[in-house]
Structure 1
């Protein structure tokens, strides 16, 4: 038992000290044998979104009905995206993948509304920050970037609690996360050369790396580091 606890402590210390290169390598290894799952999950997400927006093809663009339908669909898109975040967090946790996780946000009206309110609050806050200056707006967008991951792991949190937890977690780590994103720029460039097809694999890869970055910050926060 003591040996198991020591091994677990070593693993936690390793996670806390991982650099961006190691996080990217971890994500690549975590995707091993699950590339198809990552791509199919994204395809399923996009298919549901297209299904929701399909009535708009029968409407006149920019009409009142067209815009009204857009407003109606947006909350369902946000909630579905939370499920997509959960799917890739599972890959980072090396949990058993499940397509049912994509519909995590639809498990109850309370959680559904909590997700919607969280996204609305973030949008309002970012708009206000961007109205001040571009740079503060960008910095705040990085501060809020872990909100959805936190809400997946802590559905009991209120919208403000999730947003605040993300701000606290990202404090002092925004540049570090930007550098992690920079490591994927070449991959996103590849997507443009493949007419977006490569994104079916690049996006899950990136989101798994982002999830691992989140888990690293979470371990640091819990350790008081």
Structure 2
């Protein structure tokens, strides 16, 4: 069974209890390991690898690129990763997929992805507590610390799960277009957060890792069989 076509290869409807068990074993438990890894890297950055705090020089170099036009453009890109925007887009997408496919177990994939990401992020950022770059911040600083980037993690988890769902689109040109858009959006958010002085480069890279891992876990949360029967 191909990873991307797992929900087409097996279209059977799971029971709620079975789906919840799969979610815990195949997504939540691995997410705990992911959290441990992210926290471990964060503590290394703040401790033995403290020299990485020289990343401020990268942030200062990027600051030199600021212009009024790019300040406005990146403000929009940064907002795409805001919690309320991510949740709003996710809710609409879940309802649309559910309505179009009548497969609730597929429709909930984006919701699982951003929920896993948010849980890992919130606990990790509280434990690591890294300061934000020492440059002027163009966005209001949320109460969470700089590591890892929640904006990048959330947008990556959401839009990568959309990219997985997009592989079910029948028209090749539309499937490719939607996939490209879904990949580009998190990149725009990441650049905006770096440009606007809100995160170190490693914060953004680990945010990507968190979002990608959570999207993969969400897509694979449910056991599927090539025969179409559970």
TM-score past 0.5 threshold = no
Q: TM-score, normalised by structure 1?
A: 0.29
**Greater RCO structure (CA 8 Å; 6+ sep):** 2
